[in-house]
Amino acid sequence: MNLDSNQAAAVNSRAKNVMVIATAGAGKTRVLVERALRLVCEGERGIVVVTFTNAAAGEVIRRLKDVCGKLSGGILHVGTLHAFMLKLIVEHADCIPYPNQIAVLDAEQSRAVLDDAIAAQRYRGTLRSVKEAVARGPLRYFRNAPAADNGKVWAGDELVAVEYYRRMREGGLLDYDTILELGLDVLRKRGCACKHLLCDEVQDSGPMDWN
């Protein structure tokens, strides 16, 4: 694949951290794929390629297979950050406060669970306040599970958050933010074989993604 001088410099750089800044359609994803291919050809392992969407992941996989014929054993993962974190959660289910069988809820489904939690607690505050409490994440409420579950240390919007995560945990249900938080917890506890992290569309990442 033909690369211009700037693209080739990014692909072949031996720097620990490389950032490519360019306009839409300038070939950033092509650079990412070529850098992954260079690492594969050099026998590197522990390569993780993170994309912003499943469609982008499919395109990266297709390009890699076009050259390699199949995904190299050196590549641990190609897909979204949520997919990567979910993979870690499934592989290390013993170290998270959830059942072994889990299911992922979309935004509409998780909102329904939140509405049920609000009703169960007869909460009369604002939805914004509840969402802020929920956004603090399940580990805030369940690291000391008995204290959290009996409701003695929480009040108001946090009681709704405890009820929300209790329902999610008992049902083995994960929302998108919980996937990131529990996946990060797994990384901290167990580590990862990732040696090379390549991220596409990193400008679209949020604070939790950066963590």
pLDDT for 174: 94
Angle at the Cα of 14 from the Cα atoms of 8 and 15, rounded to 5 degrees: 105
pLDDT for 76: 85
Partners of residue 49 on adjacent β-strands: 78, 198
- Work out the burial of residue 107: count CB atoms within 10 Å of its CB; fewer than 13 is exposed, 13-18 middle, 19 or more buried: exposed
DSSP 104: E
Partners of residue 196 on adjacent β-strands: 47
- Quote the CA–CA distance of 81 and 201 in Å, as a whole number: 12
Q: What is the average pLDDT across 25-37? A: 87
Dig out the tokens for 18 from the structure: 């490389």
Q: Give Dmax over CA atoms of the chain in angstroms.
A: 64
- Nearest Cα residue to 45 out of 187, 190, 196: 196
- Quote the CA–CA distance of 129 and 98 in Å, as a whole number: 25
pLDDT in tens, 79-137: 999 999 999 999 898 888 787 788 999 999 999 999 999 999 999 989 999 999 998 88
pLDDT for 161: 92
Instruction: Confirm if 102 and 174 have CB atoms less than 8 A apart.
Output: yes
- Quote the CA–CA distance of 170 and 163 in Å, as a whole number: 11
pLDDT for 148: 46
pLDDT in tens, 125-180: 899 999 999 988 888 877 644 444 444 567 788 889 989 999 999 999 999 999 99
Per DSSP bridges, beta strands 75-80 and 47-51 are: parallel
Q: What is the average pLDDT across 65-75? A: 74
DSSP 17: -
Dig out the tokens for 197 from the structure: 């992290």
Instruction: Confirm if 81 and 50 have CB atoms less than 8 A apart.
Output: yes
Partners of residue 174 on adjacent β-strands: 104
| Residue-averaged pLDDT of the chain | 85
